[in-house]
Chain A
Amino acid sequence: MAVTININGKDETIDAAPGTPLLWVLRDHLQMTGTKFGCGVAQCGACTVHLDGEPVRSCSIPHDALDGGKVTTIEGKEGKAAKAIRDAWVNLNVPQCGYCQSGQIMSAVALLEANPKPSDQDIDDAMSGNLCRCATYMSIRRAIKQAAASL
């Protein structure tokens, strides 16, 4: 049965099997591959998107349970915090392979939108759900601080 989802401000009609996670709807049905698959069990954060402004793991949310919520992905995320985070990410060359970085950025933007001056503890709390095997953690922390300082 077709389901309509608002993604990046646009209504998309999806015809996927009931229970299909939002992640696979984005990637396979809408060809929006910026949101990444890392584990499928909400343990790595690579699939992080915003649902009504909150960071969520799209691998573990059935697309047919969104209930009118607004989804924002890496491709569509804009705003002051998003710009500050992207600028800092570019400036400090945070990514190595880049695969987890969509999720890292979505988590970091959500952090700054809620808390423009995060402490180290706040950064740990907000970012520890996002794994990075290249281990860019040092750069991520520096970039969040730089982005916060620029706001």
Chain B
Amino acid sequence: MFFENFIPKGDEEITEVVSGSSGSSIPVNLSRRGFLTTTSAFVVGVTLAGCSQAEEVVIDPTPPTPAGPSPLTEVKGGDATPSLWIEIEADGKVKITCHRSEMGQQAWTSMTQIVADELEADWAKVEVVQALGNPKYGDQNTDGSRSVRYNFHRLRVAGAAMRQMLCQAAANHWGIELADCRAEQGVVSNSVNKKTLTYGQLAEAAGNLQVPAEDQIVLKSRDEWRFIGKEISSLTVEKIVRGEGTFGQDVQREGMVYAVIAHPPRVFAEVQSFDDSQTKQVQGVVRTVKLPDATAPALFKPLGGVAVIAKDTWSAIQGREALVVEWSDGPNKEFNSEPYFDELSAAAKNPGNPQRSKGDAAQAIKDASTKVSAEYRSAFIVHSPMEPPSATAEWNGDELECWACVQDPQTTRRTLSELLQHDIEKIKVNATWLGGAFGRKSKCDFVVEAAILAKEVGTPVKVVWTREDEIQGGYYHAMAVQNFEGGLDADGKALAYQHRTAFPSIGSTFNPAADEPGPFECDLGATDAPFDIPNIQVEAVKAKAGVRIGWLRSVANIHHVFGVQSFAAEMAAAAGKDQKDYLLELIGAPRIVDLSAENSKYGNYGADIEEYPLDADRLANVIRKAADMAKWGRDLPAGHGLGIAVHRSFLSYVALVVEVAVDAEGNLTIVGCWSAVDAGTVVNPKHVKHQIEGGVIFGFSNALYGKISVTEGQVDQANFPDWRLMRMDEAPKAFEVEVIESNAPPAGVGEPGTPPAAPALANAIFAATGKRYRTLPIIGPDDYTLPLNSDNA
């Protein structure tokens, strides 16, 4: 097998382009090792139409040194071994593996841009391969806005190493120095004799070479970047506009049946009994299956309940309608979100667990000539990606394969192994495209359901969550109450600032004893308030969870930044100063903010604080930029107002100015948005702009309309009529985003647009109406106007 491939057959001959030479024909001889995973891949001949000066050459298959273990397994960010990421076929096709999930943030495009740039690939020949869940890729947990940040360096190294190996193979073939070879867009050229070889021709020989060590690899300089930093078109868009591409809901397997599940109305309620006699009368229904009841901690366990298996989704939905289930009360029946706001409010009036302490805020507030205080409330919200969760599972003997819209196929695989007590090596998890995720699809409860049901039923099963399932079976962004106090001197200068935050912690999903916001949550918008105030106190206040709590696009930043940046504007108003000028004053002089000097163990999104410092100057810079874009301070028509907010999250700095118009009836128009974003080094500015626009509008939607309420442990909302999302006619009328040019290391962009949205909007409404809205949502699901006759605080 190995040697027979040395014998060239007619259709295995590969031609070489030789510029400026008359050319003679020599048979090609390639080895089959290297980057090729299929033997058929390299037998494809390269035909160059219209090229008369072609030459066929032998690429020496003998490796000059035997390929040994890769020295690139532990570069910064993880394994940069080229064969892990890149496969080049004899026809020049370059397959680049994307190990992050594609959920609209353009992971496919950005990951590929990084590899292809250093590889000097021909973009037209690049194809993306979605990785299976496997630890060999390192972290695949596609959340935290960190796909680029985590992988930027190692993917560059991988691409550059491969480029260098292709050049080395060409140098060996031509008998020239590596320095005399130059790679450009899929072709290596020889500066001595002006000949060229394509990557396809060189792939086999290059694959036999030793992978170079990192110190022997020369990365391209920034001015040589061909794809990084460029507005490259999305690699998914051509398929999307034709309805192609496979999302989790779209998976089809031979012999597949469909499952819709009657989940418990409350977390940890159990099935007491069920009657499926009517269900079995529904045409298309195959059977029912009782799922295991869930017990605390919630983790990513399925909720339990009764599954209806049918020949199509509709029959399963109808079968579920006909099902009668008796549920136990479970431990959460006492939980009611609306009275719980008042409990949290009372709790937040008392000291909590300090997260950051500087000076003596309580005393300074007492002594201040002007005191400002406010309470901010925000409702539970739910993710609602347009694609509800869905997973397909298939067993072949003891081999389990799943296809699902998951943000982390590795965690999914591990969870399946643990909950099904099944050998992880016998589990394969394919990440499909994700029709939005926003954190929901980090939780793989729905995949476990599919695996359990497929095992029980004996054929492949697709679990389809309906919208009702998604809204009522969520891992909710926490409801929150925050108490703020500020003290100003006679000139309006801030002397003291105190922030207490009370909300059920994400920790409760993993440990039922977790009854207080964790430091990792306080870090998101509370602890890291970048204020240069002499007395600062930030505290976490105990709160219980009555539902599953999870992370949702920008996480605790959502409520914290709404409170912090609204309260900053309240202090500005109390001081009689311009909102933007006062915000700049609060942030203070250009400096690196050292939270460790203020008794804080700030986590900095898991990043090295030296590499990614909290830079007050970058914050001030985006504020000034956004204000300039919006022409801050201009004369506005009656009923219009401008509001501003800024925040650094996921290591990116985003300022947002919003202009609103409010008429006498309270009809709200979002006239314009201007955002400046400093995300450090940016891979694709176009996609960054889209993420900021989308992230901001996501924030507006939640701030104006988003409310999940809970009665006796059960979510009150069921579908889009009562869980409301922003629509086209409510979206901003204009939106400009400026991406600041920066050489700083890359930071996140999927989430940072969301935190400043709610406060910039609330501040604009205040400027337009004099009404300070301190409770989210501001409008809610049922109304179409601002409640002008009540401060909803």
- Residue interface bits A33-55, CB-to-B below 8 A is 1, else 0: 11111111101101000000000
Distance in angstroms from B195 CB to nearest chain A CB is 37
- Which residues of B sit under 8 angstroms from A85, Cβ to Cβ? 241
Does any Cβ of A come within 8 Å of B784's Cβ? no
Does any Cβ of A come within 8 Å of B45's Cβ? no
- Which residues of B sit under 8 angstroms from A28, Cβ to Cβ? 258, 311-314
Whole-angstrom distance between the alpha carbons of A59 and B658 in the complex?
Answer: 37
- Which residues of A sit under 8 angstroms from B383, Cβ to Cβ? 133
- Which residues of A sit under 8 angstroms from B252, Cβ to Cβ? 31, 33
- Which residues of A sit under 8 angstroms from B386, Cβ to Cβ? 36, 38, 44, 46, 97, 99-100, 131-134
- Which residues of B sit under 8 angstroms from A89, Cβ to Cβ? 237, 240-241
Does any Cβ of A come within 8 Å of B249's Cβ? yes
Interface size on A, residues (CB 8 A): 60
- Contact B312–A24 (Cβ < 8 Å): yes
**The residue from B246, B467, B693, B698 contacting A40, defined by CB atoms under 8 A apart:** B467
Distance in angstroms from B419 CB to nearest chain A CB is 27
Distance in angstroms from A50 CB to nearest chain B CB is 13
Whole-angstrom distance between the alpha carbons of A101 and B236 in the complex?
Answer: 12
Interface centre among B242, B284, B435, B719 (most CB of A within 10 A): B435
- Which residues of A sit under 8 angstroms from B437, Cβ to Cβ? 97
Whole-angstrom distance between the alpha carbons of A130 and B246 in the complex?
Answer: 21
Q: Which of B371-379, B588-596, B659-667, B727-735 contacts A (4 or more CB under 8 A)?
A: B727-735
Interface centre among A34, A98, A102 (most CB of B within 10 A): A98
- Contact B694–A20 (Cβ < 8 Å): no
Whole-angstrom distance between the alpha carbons of A74 and B695 in the complex?
Answer: 27
Task: Name B's interface SS.
Answer: loop
- Which residues of B sit under 8 angstroms from A129, Cβ to Cβ? 727
- Which residues of A sit under 8 angstroms from B701, Cβ to Cβ? 135
- Residue interface bits B90-118, CB-to-A below 8 A is 1, else 0: 00000000000011111000000000000
Residues 76-105 (chain A) with a chain B CB within 8 angstroms: 85-86, 89-90, 93-102, 105
- Contact B728–A127 (Cβ < 8 Å): yes
Whole-angstrom distance between the alpha carbons of A100 and B726 in the complex?
Answer: 14
Residues 517-543 (chain B) with a chain A CB within 8 angstroms: none
Whole-angstrom distance between the alpha carbons of A124 and B670 in the complex?
Answer: 14
- Which residues of B sit under 8 angstroms from A46, Cβ to Cβ? 386
Q: A34-B242, A37-B464, A93-B237 are in contact. Are A27 and B725 (CB under 8 A)?
A: no
Distance in angstroms from A127 CB to nearest chain B CB is 4
- Which residues of B sit under 8 angstroms from A94, Cβ to Cβ? 237
Does any Cβ of B come within 8 Å of A128's Cβ? yes
- Contact B725–A131 (Cβ < 8 Å): yes
Whole-angstrom distance between the alpha carbons of A75 and B102 in the complex?
Answer: 22
- Contact A141–B240 (Cβ < 8 Å): no
- Contact B435–A99 (Cβ < 8 Å): yes
Interface centre among A41, A95, A130, A138 (most CB of B within 10 A): A138
- Contact B241–A90 (Cβ < 8 Å): yes
- Contact B728–A134 (Cβ < 8 Å): no
Task: Name A's interface SS.
Answer: loop
- Which residues of B sit under 8 angstroms from A133, Cβ to Cβ? 383-386, 436, 438, 698, 725
Interface centre among B311, B434, B721, B729 (most CB of A within 10 A): B729
Q: Which residue of A lies closest to B244 (CB)?
A: A34
Does any Cβ of B come within 8 Å of A136's Cβ? yes
- Contact A97–B467 (Cβ < 8 Å): no
Q: Which residue of A lies closest to B732 (CB)?
A: A138
Does any Cβ of B come within 8 Å of A17's Cβ? yes
**The residue from A20, A93, A97, A131 contacting B687, defined by CB atoms under 8 A apart:** A93
- Contact A36–B387 (Cβ < 8 Å): yes
Q: A24-B314, A90-B238 are in contact. Are A131 and B727 (CB under 8 A)?
A: yes
**The residue from A43, A44, A102, A131 contacting B243, defined by CB atoms under 8 A apart:** A102
- Contact B435–A97 (Cβ < 8 Å): yes
- Which residues of A sit under 8 angstroms from B770, Cβ to Cβ? none
Does any Cβ of A come within 8 Å of B250's Cβ? yes
**The residue from A31, A41, A75, A135 contacting B242, defined by CB atoms under 8 A apart:** A75
- Contact A93–B233 (Cβ < 8 Å): yes
Q: Which residue of B lies closest to A104 (CB)?
A: B728
- Contact B728–A124 (Cβ < 8 Å): yes
Q: A36-B249, A90-B233, A137-B731 are in contact. Are A20 and B312 (CB under 8 A)?
A: yes
Q: Which residue of A lies closest to B106 (CB)?
A: A96
Residues 310-362 (chain B) with a chain A CB within 8 angstroms: 311-315, 317-318
**The residue from B236, B467, B733 contacting A98, defined by CB atoms under 8 A apart:** B236
Distance in angstroms from B313 CB to nearest chain A CB is 5
Does any Cβ of B come within 8 Å of A4's Cβ? no
- Which residues of B sit under 8 angstroms from A125, Cβ to Cβ? 729
- Which residues of A sit under 8 angstroms from B317, Cβ to Cβ? 40
**The residue from A17, A43, A100 contacting B315, defined by CB atoms under 8 A apart:** A17
Does any Cβ of A come within 8 Å of B686's Cβ? yes
- Contact A95–B732 (Cβ < 8 Å): no
- Contact A96–B690 (Cβ < 8 Å): yes
- Contact A36–B720 (Cβ < 8 Å): no
Known: A95-B236, A135-B695. 13 other contacts (CB 8 A): A24-B312, A28-B313, A33-B243, A37-B313, A44-B467, A46-B386, A75-B242, A90-B233, A97-B436, A128-B727, A133-B725, A135-B731, A138-B693
Report 22 cross-chain contacts, Cβ distance below 8 Å, ordered by A residue: A16-B314, A17-B284, A20-B312, A28-B258, A29-B312, A31-B252, A40-B719, A41-B719, A93-B234, A97-B103, A98-B236, A98-B245, A98-B435, A99-B386, A100-B435, A105-B241, A123-B728, A124-B728, A127-B728, A135-B693, A136-B693, A137-B727
Residues of B within 8 A of A (CB): 102-106, 233-234, 236-247, 249-250, 252, 258, 282-284, 311-315, 317-318, 383-388, 433-438, 464, 466-467, 686-687, 690-691, 693-698, 701, 719-721, 725-729, 731-733, 735
Q: Which 3 A-B pairs have the closest CB atoms?
A: A34-B243, A99-B435, A97-B104
